[in-house]
Amino acid sequence: MILNIFKPKNWTSFDVVAKVRGVLKVKKAGHAGTLDPLAGGVLVVLTGDDTKKQAKFMEMEKEYVAEIVFGAKSPTYDLEVLPTLVTTPDSAETFEKIKEILPLFTGEIEQIIPPYSAKKVEGKPMYKLARQGLEMAEQRKTITISSIDVMEQKSCELNTDKGVAVLPCVTLRIKCSSGTFVRSLAHELGEKLKTGGILVSLVRSAVGEYKVENSVKIEDLVSQQSR
């Protein structure tokens, strides 16, 4: 069975698979592409013999809707820890510059792997080394971003180490290859603008032909199976 599940925010991808396995009473289940706990959206869950199709789904293009705030930094590139206020950039100027630099981040590019990620260095996940305060050489990977479109530009309130700050905020629609770190994109856009940038919201809106508008919420799956 191939299921298009909406992963809720603050659930791990493993949490969703475990729940599906329990609700459907199946032994074999897995997902076709991890979503960070702070992200929501499409998680393709495969059960039974369809678990053999995992590689096919992993290769599919992904689409994300990401909200990025400029003027702050975070070691995790998102809201996992309290952001540090860097500056309060002018919104109009920031929005204009973003449109200018977005083409630099499309096509095949080298992307920074977040220090707080599951990528292993010398056999240990980077996030474990980072939490121990150990310094690591910057790790990069090649990914492909086929398109980035600006959906919305506005001002957002953000809790920072200096209190609540009102900062420029942009919502982007991103189509990219598997393995792309959208929080790294937020960080690198902020570095290019010299303002800092962090990911404050992320929804995976599609995996190939599997769209978020057709996804099934966990509670609806439970309800369907209990009828």
The full DSSP string for 122-141 is TTEEHHHHHHTT------EE
Reported in sequence order, the residue ranges of 56-103 that DSSP labels E, i.e. its strands, are 62-70, 72-73, 84-85
Nearest to 190 by CA among 114, 127, 97, 82: 97
Claim to verify: residue 222 and residue 202 sit in the same structural domain: no
Residue where the block lists tokens 């729940």: 19
Q: Where is average pLDDT lowest: 15-29, 69-83, 121-135? A: 121-135
| Same-domain status, 168 and 218 | no
Q: Domains in the chain: how many in total?
A: 2
Does the pLDDT of residue 227 top 70, yes or no? Answer: no
Residue with tokens 């199946």: 26
Which one of the listed residues 15, 36, 49, 78 is annotated catalytic?
36
186 CB burial (10 A radius; 0-12, 13-18, 19+): buried
Clarify whether 161 is annotated catalytic.
no
Q: Does residue 105 sit in the same domain as residue 215?
A: no
Give the pair of three-digit tokens for residue 48.
């039974």
* 178 and 79 within one domain: yes
State whether residue 105 is helix, strand or coil.
helix
Question: Within its chain, how far is the Cα of 225 from the centroid?
Answer: 30
Mean pLDDT (whole number) for 9-22 = 93
**What pLDDT is stored for residue 37 in this prediction?**
87
DSSP character at residue 9: T
Give pLDDT, residue 11.
Answer: 93
pLDDT in tens, 90-99: 999 999 999 9
What's the token pair of residue 34?
């991890």
Domain co-membership, 50 together with 142 = no
Please report, for residues 27, 83, 86, 149, the alpha-carbon distance to residue 72 in angstroms, rounded to integers and kept in the order given: 45, 6, 5, 22
Residue 48 has pLDDT above 90, yes or no: yes
The residue type at 186: A
Within this chain, do residues 53 and 156 fall inside the same structural domain, yes or no?
A: no
Is-contact 49 62, C-beta < 8 A?
no
Q: Tell me, what's the pLDDT at 226? A: 65
Average the pLDDT over 26-49 and give the result: 92
Q: How confident is the model at residue 122 (pLDDT cuts 50, 70, 90)?
A: low
Average pLDDT value for the chain: 91
Do 99 and 199 fall within a single domain? yes
pLDDT in tens, 154-193: 999 999 999 999 999 999 999 999 989 999 999 999 999 9
Using DSSP, state whether 80 is helix, strand or coil.
coil
CATH code for the domain of 8: 3.30.2350.10
* Phi/psi-derived region of residue 155, left when phi > 0, alpha when psi is between -120 and 50, beta in every other case: beta
DSSP letters along 21-32, please? HHHHT-S-EEES
